[in-house]
Amino acid sequence: MTNKIAQEFQIDEAVIFADRFDEEYDIKSYVSEISFFEDLDKSYLTGQLVFMDDISVVETIGIKGTEQIRFSISTTEKQTVDASFTITMNIVSIVRFSKVNERNSVYHFDLISPHAYRDANLKISRSYTGSLDDISQRILNNHLNVKVDRSYMGGTSPIQNEVKVITPYISPLESVDWLMDRATTDIGAPFWCWQTLYDQREDEEFVRFGNLEYMMNVPAFNERVHLLYSESRGQSVALGNISKQGVTIKNLEVENVEDTLKLIYEGAIGSRVVVQDTYTSQTINKHFGITNLIDKLESKNVFSGGDQNIFDESQELTIENKTRNTNEFDSIWFRSINSYGTYGSVNSYHDTPDPSDALNKLRSNSIRSLLNRNMINITIPGITFFAAKEKGVSGVGAGDIVWVDFLTSDVDDTSSGNLDEEKSGLYLIYRCRNIFRNTAHEVVASITKLAKNPTQ
């Protein structure tokens, strides 16, 4: 008996419009695939659109890379999940064009968030005074008309003192990235500015500010029902109700992980910062070691009760007849020359009168390296992340926490309930690709963690 594959989503609208048009062009019937890309390291969305054109709509429109397209997408099984979203993107270019036959052509479009398109047209050189996050928010509001969702900050602003900066003829988004890269919590946890699929609300654009320290202390959205990677389970529910599919990982990809040598090259294990202030003659010369950072992360519950799995604390190396732990070496020296007093009593961007703040620069970079070290890719039904929309909140995406369980390959190991304690646990969603193709909505998520499975 043939199983019927459920339609997991419907495109309610896919309309191309531009200032030069007298009318809008609805292409929803011709859409083959839509993809949206979220990334903690990007303050905007990117996307791709594939559609089959058999009525010469592209020739009629005359695509110039100045058009916009509005999508409205919703779930189909309303009795299971009733959720929807609307998003507008700018068409950047026709990436690929191919003729299927005499009548049919396939077009691939690149898409980008409207505020990122506007950002490309503007360079700013202005003076700002305030905290790093407040200056960033003012730049977004004043130059790009973008609002900020600060809920992922947990009420915590960067530990750095108020600064005065002059943006050096860079775009608004480049300015925000520059400022947020300097921002940390008191233990050196980084801040991000990013956007998700659900951050256009009532014709207003939003981006999110967040810090790792708070984000890793927020309960996972699926704390009660974990995602599970199991081939047998995936086969048993693959053609079933989408709510049952929503707890199953369809595919797992693991590449280039556990690379400690790469961490050493990046100074994420052990390094040194030297700061010379030409005004006060103060010199800060401090060693950064990852074990101290691990203690700080543990004190703030960033490991969520689990044991760290990011560094082998027992590894020792003998170099120049001296045997030391790898975190005691200085694989990179970071040097800077500052001049306190340039703006009176207000710090400039690089001023670090506090040795701990100088180390926070290294701690933040180390954490980013550690997160990239343990990145894995999972493919799951889109309903898993989309369902949260029904509850009146944002759908799940980059910046959220997901609980994933992996079964151990050792069938004789019953001590942990057949769970792989090393791989299972709380993961940060670092990147996220929502794919709407044919009948299916899938999410390919790049997830990462810093600790083993926490005690439940």
The pLDDT assigned to 242 comes to 52
Look at residue 211 in the predicted model and tell me its pLDDT: 97
Window from 138-147, 340-349, 428-437 with minimum mean pLDDT: 340-349
Strand partners, 209: 193
Q: Are residues 191 and 268 in the same domain?
A: no
DSSP single-letter state for residue 455: P
- Identify the domain containing residue 269 by its residue range: 260-368
- Of the three residues 172, 197, 212, the one that is the final residue of a domain is 212
SS in 3 state form for 71-117?
EEEEECCCCCCCCEEEEEEEEEEEEEEEECCCCCEEEEEEEECHHHH
Residue 212, pLDDT > 50, answer yes
pLDDT reported for residue 340: 79
Residues 276 and 363 both lie in one domain = yes
Q: What is the pLDDT of residue 231?
A: 61
Count structural domains, the chain.
2
65 occurs within a structural domain: no
Contact 400, 431 (CB under 8 A): no
Which residues are within 8 A (CB) of 73 and not within 5 positions of it... i.e. 6 or more apart? 9, 10, 11, 12, 34, 84, 85, 86, 436
pLDDT value of residue 79: 63
Q: For 322-422, where are the E strands, in sequence order?
A: 322-325, 333-338, 376-381, 401-406
Q: What percent of the chain has pLDDT over 90?
A: 64
Say what the pLDDT of residue 236 is.
52
Q: Write down which residue in 368, 402, 431 finishes a domain.
A: 368
**Does the residue 208 lie in any domain?**
yes
Supply the pLDDT for residue 355. Answer: 86
More confident residue, 207 or 238: 207
Task: Please give the average per-residue pLDDT across 302-310, as a whole number.
Answer: 87
Same domain, 337 and 271: yes
How far is it, in rounded angstroms, from Cα 116 to Cα 177? 13
Which has more confidence, 447 or 237? Answer: 447
In this structure, what token pair is assigned to residue 212? 């790792």
User: Quick check: 78 and 23 in contact, CB under 8 A?
Assistant: no
* Pairwise CA distance, residues 31 & 14, whole Å: 8
Whole-model pTM over 0.85: yes
pLDDT of 4 higher than 50:
no
Q: Of 152, 183, 212, which one is at a domain's C-terminal end?
A: 212
User: For residues 124 and 146, is the Cβ–Cβ distance under 8 A?
Assistant: no
**Residue 411: predicted pLDDT:** 53
Whether the per-residue pLDDT at 244 is higher than 60: the answer is no
The pLDDT tens digits for 391-422 are 656 789 999 999 999 987 665 454 456 788 88
Res 240: pLDDT: 53
Q: Given this model, what pLDDT does residue 181 score?
A: 96
> What's the mean pLDDT in 316-345?
90
| pLDDT average, residue stretch 256-283 | 91
Same domain, yes or no: 356 and 278: yes
pLDDT digit string, tens, across residues 65-93 = 999 999 999 988 776 777 889 999 999 99
Residue 332 lies in a domain: yes
Any domain includes 142: yes
Interval 129-177: pLDDT, tens = 999 999 999 999 999 999 999 999 999 999 999 999 999 899 999 999 9
Mean per-residue pLDDT for 216-232? 86
Statement: residue 43 has pLDDT above 70: yes
203 and 292 within one domain: no
Please report whether residue 198 resides in a domain: yes
pLDDT at 110 over 80: yes
Q: How many CB atoms lie within 10 A of CB 317?
A: 12
Q: Do 190 and 271 lie in a common domain?
A: no
- 284-298 confidence digits (pLDDT tens): 999 999 999 999 999
Region 365-369: mean pLDDT is 96
What is the mean predicted confidence (pLDDT) over 52-65? 87
The answer to whether residue 31 scores a pLDDT higher than 90 is yes
Q: What is residue 436's DSSP assignment?
A: E
Q: What average pLDDT does the chain have?
A: 89
Same domain, 360 and 265: yes
419 belongs to a structural domain: no
